[in-house]
Amino acid sequence: MELSKVTLEIFSKLEHKWLSHYQTNNKTRILSIDGGGTTAVVAGASLIHLEDQIRLQTTDPQAHITDFFDIIAGTGIGAIIAAMITAADAFGRPLYTARNAVRLIMERNSELYKVKMSGFFRRSRRFSSRSMDNVLKQVFQRKEKNGRLLTLKDTCKPLLIPCFDIKSSAPFVFSRADASDSPSFDFELWKVCHATSATPNNFKPFNFTSVDGKTSCSAVDGGLVMNNPTAAAVTHVLHNKRDFPSVNGIEDLMVLSLGNGSSSARTSENSKRSTLSVIDIVLDGVSDTIDQMLGNAFCGNRTDYVRIQAFTLGTKKEVLREKGLESLPFGGKRLLTETNGDRIESFVQRLVATGKTSTPSSPGKESAVTSVVNGR
């Protein structure tokens, strides 16, 4: 029996829809959260909206961001949030929702970044390392009685966080893959977060060791080398065949990169605490360059690379209503017609279509990031 033209057309459309869904399922999903500043207004608003949309579109009120991403990277304040939403409880589920993590950061911000006077005549303004450590230890501790401090191995999804080791004058990148391979590369999460947050003009270098005491580091802010850790996460995935065997090129990736506001906006937000350093301004430029490079690389399918940024920090609604800039080839910029909220919602539609992720069963040590870090 011959198929009619209408029947053939229906079958063709169904086949195309099935193939598109099948191809989307092969995407490896990366979430990257910038450093910069102390409040994470932009990233926080974006993460809460991201998780709310995931729950809305999946009709699952218990869904977490980590259910739909394969790896999460962060630097500075972004690393603290990234570590919080990936830290696992005794059952392997996230300790914190995005909303709870952001709320805790806001409620305890004055303790995390407690100003103390030091130096001759106590004129130098720095943040208290002891105060930050006390908060981070409480954040990354299991909730049961006498709960232990969590390490990089205690995350429900692969985690990537950079710092800079001044002893070796080289980047030092923390990853769950390395931690699972050897206790010499496993570190307590509170130490990892302090290390990547130790901005030179605000904190002293942070000296610490791995859980077995065999690897040491004298760390300063990871933002000095990777304020926007997206490129590091992409490189890690592209070269880590053990954890991500299906990734053959950038076309196999979906990336959501969350900024933390422009330098001028963060200056206004943090004016009561400290002035913006030249380093911060330079790092903003580096972050823009990375965004431009990745935007160009994804130019064939810009829906697979979404960068959320805001230039006037305000309420969550104001951040989500702001329209961003798109990086174009050869250094150009274009004002987008969609708001940040619209772009997150569109990304979640594609994200949910890919289905929930599965945690790599045997994290490996080999990665491109690891291979370029000579200070380990």
- Give catalytic residues, as residue numbers: 221
Q: How far is CA 266 from the centre of its chain?
A: 19
